[in-house]
């Protein structure tokens, strides 16, 4: 499970002030009050953008303000309301009050939106205060301040598919090939130090979430390399993809090492539906015969060129569709 968190400071717009004004026309001796009301300040609204998948964009924009309402004017002109500010978030985002941790909104549907900070009401113009006894009211009220608070956005994503492989096998390359994620790729081991998530689309439809995690080596369960701790990120995936570098001396032995390490971490992981992405086919001879990996389906691919990935994607979708949805426990 990947948890994305962003803390934002938000300030709704202040209300505009009411206006004190009197009619001044040559032929009207005692002009009455005509000060208009101030406009309402803009609200801060949090709304779902179904195309967003992470809170990444909010890490850099920490402060949101909505426009203030305009002040009232003479001639009974009301101030214009301030424009609302919309903070776009991915579906599934929970909005909390940063201090009390109270849930302010839980945006579960693709069209969910919620006012999180209300704009201040506009003040009243003096036209409102005219009475039989007071025809020249010199009174107007100021606009109310807009609400201001710190909020925490929280998004929990469960990856559907986890990539498991040795360092340098091409996991990050595959993720960047299949999704818009841009994890670092380099020709040395342990390039990936923290897991990356990508949203894989097939035939233009968002299909599933794929997680790229750091490479595993023999002895990882004893702490070698980066250890096994990051496997918790893929513990709840429905499907595992073993990314095997087909150009190494013994891809079969590489695969066995991966399985041994997974078994050491959690034997249940071996029972999880899985398939093999036999990678780097572009640098192997055309007559290369894939070794035997037991019962698992093998897809010879090139993460660099994308060759062979489409049939693998169809198989992934097929398998995901045949797995009943996992019950949510956390």
Ligand X SMILES: Nc1nc2c(ncn2[C@@H]2O[C@H](COP(=O)(O)OP(=O)(O)OP(=O)(O)O)[C@@H](O)[C@H]2O)c(=O)[nH]1
> In whole angstroms, how close is the CB of 177 to ligand X at the nearest point?
8
> In whole angstroms, how close is the CB of 288 to ligand X at the nearest point?
13
Strands (E), the chain: 2-11, 44-48, 63-65, 85-89, 93-97, 103-107, 113-117, 148-157, 161-165, 196-202, 205-212, 239-245, 274-279, 298-300
When asked if residue 192 is in the footprint of ligand X (CB under 6 A), the reply is: yes
Q: Which of 185, 197, 244, 312 binds ligand X (CB under 6 A)?
A: 185
**What's the length of the chain?**
330
Q: Which is nearer to Mg ion, 120 or 165 (CB)?
A: 165
Q: What is d(CA 123, CA 167) in angstroms, rounded to the nearest whole number?
A: 64
When asked if residue 214 is in the footprint of ligand X (CB under 6 A), the reply is: yes
Q: Which does 226 bind (CB under 5 to 8 A by kind): ligand X, Mg ion, none?
A: none
Contact 81, 36 (CB under 8 A): no
Please tell me the chain's helix, strand, coil percentages from 3-state DSSP, rounded to the nearest 5.
20, 30, 55
When asked if residue 179 is in the footprint of Mg ion (CB under 5 A), the reply is: no
Q: List binders of ligand X among 251-310 (CB under 6 A).
A: 279-280, 282-283, 302-304
Q: Which does 280 bind (CB under 5 to 8 A by kind): ligand X, Mg ion, none?
A: ligand X
**Site size for ligand X, by CB under 6 A?**
24
Q: Which does 303 bind (CB under 5 to 8 A by kind): Mg ion, ligand X, none?
A: ligand X
**In the chain, count of helices (H) and strands (E)?**
3, 14
Q: Which of 168, 179, 207, 237 binds ligand X (CB under 6 A)?
A: 168
When asked if residue 248 is in the footprint of ligand X (CB under 6 A), the reply is: no
When asked if residue 176 is in the footprint of Mg ion (CB under 5 A), the reply is: no
When asked if residue 172 is in the footprint of Mg ion (CB under 5 A), the reply is: yes
First to last CA, the chain: 9
When asked if residue 196 is in the footprint of ligand X (CB under 6 A), the reply is: no
Nearest CA to 162 out of 227, 214, 240, 255 is that of 240
Q: Which is nearer to ligand X, 85 or 309 (CB)?
A: 309
Q: Which is nearer to Mg ion, 172 or 309 (CB)?
A: 172
Q: Which of 192, 207, 237, 302 binds Mg ion (CB under 5 A)?
A: 192
Q: Which of 7, 191, 248, 319 binds ligand X (CB under 6 A)?
A: 191
Return the H-helix or E-strand segment holding 253.
helix 251-265
Q: Which of 16, 170, 225, 251 binds ligand X (CB under 6 A)?
A: 170
When asked if residue 191 is in the footprint of Mg ion (CB under 5 A), the reply is: yes
Q: Which does 302 bind (CB under 5 to 8 A by kind): ligand X, Mg ion, none?
A: ligand X
Task: State the pairing for strand pair 298-300/274-279.
Answer: parallel
Q: What is d(CA 97, CA 154) in angstroms, rounded to the nearest whole number?
A: 11
When asked if residue 94 is in the footprint of ligand X (CB under 6 A), the reply is: no
> In whole angstroms, how close is the CB of 53 to ligand X at the nearest point?
20
Q: Which of 16, 162, 165, 198 binds ligand X (CB under 6 A)?
A: 165
Burial 172-204 (b: 16+ CB within 10 A, else e): bbbbbbbbebebebeeeeebbeebbbbbbeeee
The set of residues, in sequence order, having a beta carbon less than 8 Å from that of 141 and lying 6+ positions away, is 17, 18, 123, 124
**For binding to Mg ion (CB under 5 A), which residues are involved?**
172, 191-192
**For binding to ligand X (CB under 6 A), which residues are involved?**
165, 167-173, 185-187, 189-192, 214-215, 279-280, 282-283, 302-304
């Amino acid at each position: 499970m990947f948890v994305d968190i962003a803390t934002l400071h938000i300030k709704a717009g202040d209300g505009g002030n009411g206006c004190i004004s009197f009619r001044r026309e040559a032929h009207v001796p005692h002009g009455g009050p005509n000060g208009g009301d101030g406009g309402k300040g803009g609200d801060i609204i949090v709304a779902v953008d179904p195309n967003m998948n992470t809170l990444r964009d909010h890490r850099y924009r920490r402060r949101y303000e909505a426009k203030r309402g305009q002040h009232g004017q003479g001639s009974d002109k009301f101030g214009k309301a301030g424009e609302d500010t919309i903070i776009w978030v991915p579906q599934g985002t929970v909005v909390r009050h940063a201090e009390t941790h109270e849930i302010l909104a839980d945006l579960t549907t693709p069209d969910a939106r919620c006012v999180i900070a209300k704009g201040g009401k506009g003040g009243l113009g003096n036209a409102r205060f005219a009475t039989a006894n007071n025809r020249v009211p010199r009174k107007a009220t100021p606009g109310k301040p807009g609400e201001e608070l710190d909020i925490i956005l929280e998004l929990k994503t469960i990856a559907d598919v986890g990539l498991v492989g040795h360092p340098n096998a091409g996991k990050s390359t595959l993720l960047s090939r299949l999704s818009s994620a841009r994890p670092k790729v380099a020709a040395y081991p342990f390039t990936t130090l923290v897991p990356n998530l990508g949203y894989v689309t097939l035939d233009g439809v968002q299909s599933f979430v794929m997680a790229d995690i750091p490479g595993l080596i023999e002895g990882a369960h004893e702490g070698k390399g980066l250890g096994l701790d990051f496997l918790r990120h893929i513990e709840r995936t429905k499907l595992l993809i073993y990314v095997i570098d087909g150009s190494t001396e013994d891809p079969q032995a590489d695969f066995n090492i991966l399985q041994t390490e997974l078994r050491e971490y959690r034997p249940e992981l071996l029972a999880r539906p899985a398939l093999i992405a036999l990678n780097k086919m572009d640098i192997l001879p055309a007559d290369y015969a894939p070794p035997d990996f037991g019962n698992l389906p093998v897809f010879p691919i090139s993460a660099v060129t994308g060759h062979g990935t489409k049939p693998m994607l169809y198989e992934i979708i097929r398998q995901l569709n045949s797995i009943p949805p996992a019950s949510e426990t956390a």
